[in-house]
């Protein structure tokens, strides 16, 4: 249980240390959602598959790159919780990418 609390606390502290970045990303995402929602032909379901494809690719890339970006390596990732943290950070990047790709794919989609 301690490891879970430590992970949650670490993410919280990182978010608070980078609050301007978090708020900026949130404002940009909300603006993108509003613009995509104002488009008359927005069918939100049509943007799901491109967002899912990008999310899977970003998750794979994130899972491979996160240990190196943190000045570590996979030789230091030895416990279940270590792999879970790496997968969770990669999932966070993947979710963020999907959150931006979904409405953007609706904006730049050609209507047929």
> Would you say residue 80 has pLDDT above 80?
yes
- pLDDT interval class at 60 (50, 70, 90): very high
What's residue 79's pLDDT?
Answer: 86
SS (H, E, C) 9-74: HHHHHHHHHCHHHHHHHHHHHHHHHHHHHHCCCCCHHHHHHHHHHHHHHHHHHHHHHHHHHCCCCC
Per residue in 84-110, pLDDT tens? Answer: 888 998 999 999 999 999 999 888 876
What's residue 111's pLDDT?
Answer: 61
> Would you say residue 58 has pLDDT above 80?
yes
Distance of CA 93 to the CA centre of its chain: 3
> How does the average pLDDT of the chain come out, rounded?
87
- pTM of full prediction above 0.75: yes
What's residue 73's pLDDT?
Answer: 76
> Would you say residue 45 has pLDDT above 90?
no
- If one compares 77 and 99, the residue with the highest pLDDT of the two is 99
């Amino acid at each position: 249980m301690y490891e879970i609390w430590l992970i949650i606390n670490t993410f919280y502290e990182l978010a608070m240390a980078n609050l301007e970045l978090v708020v900026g990303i949130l404002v940009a995402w909300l603006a993108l959602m509003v613009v995509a929602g104002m488009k008359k032909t927005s069918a939100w379901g049509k943007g799901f598959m491109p967002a899912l494809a990008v999310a899977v690719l970003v998750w794979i890339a994130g899972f491979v790159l996160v240990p190196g970006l943190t000045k570590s390596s996979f030789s230091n990732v030895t416990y279940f919780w270590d792999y879970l943290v790496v997968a969770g950070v990669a999932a966070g990047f993947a979710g963020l990418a999907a959150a931006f790709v979904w409405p953007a794919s609706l904006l730049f989609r050609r209507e047929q």
